[in-house]
A and B are shown apart, each in its own frame.
Chain A
Amino acid sequence: MLIYLRKRIVSSALPLVVVIVGVFALARMTGNPASLYLPLNATQQMRDDFTARNGLDQPLLVQMADYFGGVLRLDFGQSLRTGQDAAAMALRAFPATLQLAATTMVLAVLLALVVGCWAALKPNGIADRISSFVSMAAASIPDFWLAIVGIWVFAITLGWLPTSGVSGAGAWVLPIATLLLRPFGVLVQIVRGSMVSALSEPYIKLARSRGAGELRVVTHHALRNAAAPALTVAGDLTVGLVNGAVVVETIFGWPGIGKLMIDSILQRDFAVLQAAVLLTAVAIFALNILIDMGYALLDARVRPVTVKA
């Protein structure tokens, strides 16, 4: 397993480099920060000084080499805006997003498992039709629209929930509900589909012929077989949550990595943007490795073969 893990980490390195190069180049195409940070009436001399001080007068390749040199020493540069360490800013914002995303996904998966299994027990039954309608609707509603309607109804009109911020449990409700809907809708359909096919397998009939009751058949025999497709999609949806987080964190003023990215793009705060994107990319790679390990845990057939001596 360790050999497998090492292989995966090594093979992740190249895509990460590509991500950094891409973000590095694209960020610099947004324009010179000097025109944003200096007053409108700043002289050319002042502009040149600012550019030189931040190393932005160097050719792009030299800047990039400098940056990679820094990354290898775990020095990700400073924020133009605050002068703080860029990596520290990204790491500080990350837990807020992680909490939001993790809570959302755990809830989405649990809800989808229950609803999906319930629907799969009787294909085309009433439960199946209801859950099919609900999940389709849930998967189709755009998150930014729902967020705004949610604020309007529950925060402004009814006054039950805060419009933004992170204070108190109430502040979690709207962001999570907004983020939850799509993963829930998609996962219900995946779980339902894979449960229907798992439940029609001969080994399910055989389990019944050994006296296994309905609950045991569903939770013990079918669910574990149906879990792999759900895991794949859940992983993909989790990555999608990071995108969703950019929208939701901006709308709800959630101090997470999505908001940090948007802010640093708007402020041409290159070092912070790069650190935030790199951190997110590393998190996504880690997630993918976890998912692959999850497959192996669920199903012996996809375990990496260890050759016995």
Chain B
Amino acid sequence: MKTATDQAPAKRSRAAAAAAGAGTAAGQAKAHDVVLQVRDLAVDIRTHRGTVRAVNSVAFEARAGETLALLGESGCGKSMTAKALAGIMDPVCDLADGEIILNGTDLAALSPKERLKFAGPELGIVFQDALTALNPVYTVGTQLGEAFRIHRGLNAKEARVEAIDLMKRVGIPEPESRINSYPHQFSGGMRQRILIAMAVALNPRLLIADEPTTALDVTVQAQIMQLLRKLREEGQMAVILITHDLAVVAEEADSVAVMYAGNVVESGPVSQVFADPRHPYTKGLLESVPAHLERGAQLKSIAGSPPELHDIPDGCVYQSRCPLVQDICRAERPALRPVAGTPVAGNSGAPGNAGTGNPVAGTPVNIPSGKEPRPARTAACHFSEEINNV
């Protein structure tokens, strides 16, 4: 408890006090502690054409007070990964393999019933579309209070008090009167705030935000990201931010895991990955950012499209679109392994400072400073060392 509050006493006292009520105070994480470790995660989908693997040997870790971005295009398995972590997969999906170690407990090994105890106090999730994610027939007060009623056994009146407090925390004006409103009576931005409030109600260690701003307009996006940042600091939560937006990753995340066709193809601190990508897919993504192109120049894109899940090739998942493809790529799938010759810790990786050129000029990059050593950089490519010499 003491160590937990040492970090930032003023900000933390409230979250710690709230956590004490939940009986989780003892586990309040210190900044940069590893909160979640995912290893070899695999998810299968049962379809009419047989079982397909939608997520394959995915591994990453999330740290307290930091944001990990899961970056990838539609269908790459990032949302599936999020649902697997939260234990809310569709009925046709199975957790085929892997460990989801959240603060020392392997969630993947628990029964669905045991997992319910973690859903809320340890882990919260925010969806993209706040309108469909809120139950239309109950007031937001009822829904905000539900977590307190389930996990702390509060009655309706006590839960209402907590719900009003939550609404204040996420910046919803006039919570005392708005608490009796229904989801459809709120604006999109306010609905997203309510969704976030529900996810952080019990001060979880881990917050998964699945494209939280995709459905919102740009000014509201900024407010929501700011709110997430504030809540992350207050509760020293680990945040997993799922997005396809490179700019959001650059602005918000400390580290990034790039996903392609169900696999993590590259991961590491955002500043380093963006400045010096070591997987051809990441490189292709960054080169497709139009920010630094001349007016009138052809926009760059990655030719082709991702493989069908029914039809994932034996070797590298990216082989069909890779400009560097060799025979070995078709024969052997590269494992996600540390990249030799990449800088460690948050002392490098500023734009223009590392690697070749500057693929994300014009995009502000957060350089985490004074933090503990970053996770090693990894990439799943046979040629990750030579990629920038080609």
Could you list which residues of chain A lie within 8 angstroms of chain B, going by C-beta atoms? Answer: 122-123, 200-203, 205-213, 216, 221, 224-225, 298-301
Contacts and interface: CB of A to CB of B under 8 A. Distances in A.
Contacts of A206: 88, 125, 127, 133-134, 195, 198
Contact of B198 (A210, A216, A224, A299): A210
Given A201-B132, A202-B132, A203-B132, A298 B150 contact: no
Contact of B182 (A216, A221, A301): A301
B31 to A, nearest CB: 25
Chain B interface residue number, banded: 35 or more
Interface string B129-147: 1001111111100000011
Contacts of A210: 119-120, 146-147, 150, 198, 201
Given A202-B132, A299-B136, A208 B88 contact: yes
B119 A224 contact: no
A120 to B, nearest CB: 11
Contacts of A202: 127, 129, 132-133
Contacts of B150: 210-212, 216
Interface in B93-139: 113, 116-121, 123-125, 127, 129, 132-139
A202 B151 CA distance: 21
A205 B88 contact: yes
Nearest to B199: A209
Contact of A301 (B123, B136, B151, B195): B136
Given A300-B137, A300-B182, A301-B136, A208 B119 contact: yes
A22 to B, nearest CB: 39
Contacts, number: 78
Given A205-B88, A209-B124, A225 B137 contact: yes
Contacts of B138: 224
B83 interface: yes
B242 to A, nearest CB: 14
Nearest to B88: A205
B87 interface: yes
Nearest to B180: A300
24 contacts: A202-B132, A203-B132, A203-B133, A203-B135, A206-B127, A206-B198, A207-B135, A207-B146, A208-B87, A208-B116, A209-B87, A209-B88, A209-B123, A209-B125, A209-B199, A210-B119, A211-B116, A211-B117, A211-B120, A212-B150, A213-B116, A224-B137, A299-B136, A300-B137
A225 B135 contact: yes
A303 to B, nearest CB: 9
Contacts of A208: 87-88, 116, 119
The 3 A-B residue pairs with the shortest CB-CB distance in the complex, in nearest-first order: A211-B119, A211-B120, A203-B135
Nearest to B150: A211
A218 to B, nearest CB: 13
B119 A225 contact: no
B184 interface: yes
A124 to B, nearest CB: 10
Nearest to B127: A202
Contact of B151 (A203, A205, A211, A225): A211
Given A202-B132, A211-B151, A225-B135, 15 more contacts: A122-B91, A123-B91, A202-B129, A203-B135, A206-B198, A210-B147, A211-B116, A211-B117, A212-B116, A213-B113, A224-B137, A224-B138, A225-B137, A298-B137, A300-B184
Contacts of A216: 150
Nearest to B117: A211
Nearest to B121: A211
Contact of B134 (A203, A212, A300, A301): A203
Contacts of B261: none
A208 B135 CA distance: 12
B64 to A, nearest CB: 20
A206 B130 CA distance: 10
Contacts of B135: 203, 207, 221, 225
B86 interface: yes
A150 B136 CA distance: 45
Task: Tell me which of B88, B137, B139 has the highest count of chain A C-beta atoms within 10 A of its own C-beta.
Answer: B137
B315 to A, nearest CB: 35
B87 to A, nearest CB: 7
Nearest to B198: A210
Central interface residue in A201, A202, A216, by most chain B CB within 10 Å: A202
A299 B119 contact: no
Most-contacted residue by chain B among A208, A211, A212, A300 (CB, 10 A): A211
Contacts of B116: 208, 211-213
Contact of B137 (A209, A212, A213, A299): A299
Most-contacted residue by chain A among B123, B127, B133 (CB, 10 A): B133
